[in-house]
Amino acid sequence: MFWVIRYTDRETKEDRELVVEAATRLAVEAWALKRNIPLDFVGEATTEDMSVAKRCKRMWRYTPEARYTVFGTPTSLRHVACLMLCGIWTSLAVLHNMHVNVIEVVRAGKWF
Residue that is last in its domain, among 27, 43, 60: 60
Asked if 16 and 34 sit in the same domain, the reply is yes
| Chain Cα centroid distance, residue 51 | 11
For residues 15 and 7, give the distance between their C-alpha atoms in angstroms, rounded to a whole number: 6
Asked if 79 and 48 sit in the same domain, the reply is no
User: 86 lies in which domain range?
Assistant: 68-108
Asked if 7 and 56 sit in the same domain, the reply is yes
pLDDT of residue 47: 92
Asked if 26 and 56 sit in the same domain, the reply is yes
User: How many domains does one find in the chain?
Assistant: 2
Contact 2, 50 (CB under 8 A): yes
Contact 19, 49 (CB under 8 A): yes
User: What CA–CA distances, in Å, run from 24 to 3, 89, 101, 102?
Assistant: 9, 47, 61, 58
Asked if 72 and 48 sit in the same domain, the reply is no
- Which pLDDT tens digits describe the chain residue by residue (112 residues)? 999 999 998 888 899 999 999 999 999 999 999 999 998 999 999 999 999 998 998 888 887 778 898 888 899 999 999 999 999 999 999 988 998 888 887 788 776 6
pTM of the shown model: 0.59
Contact 31, 19 (CB under 8 A): no
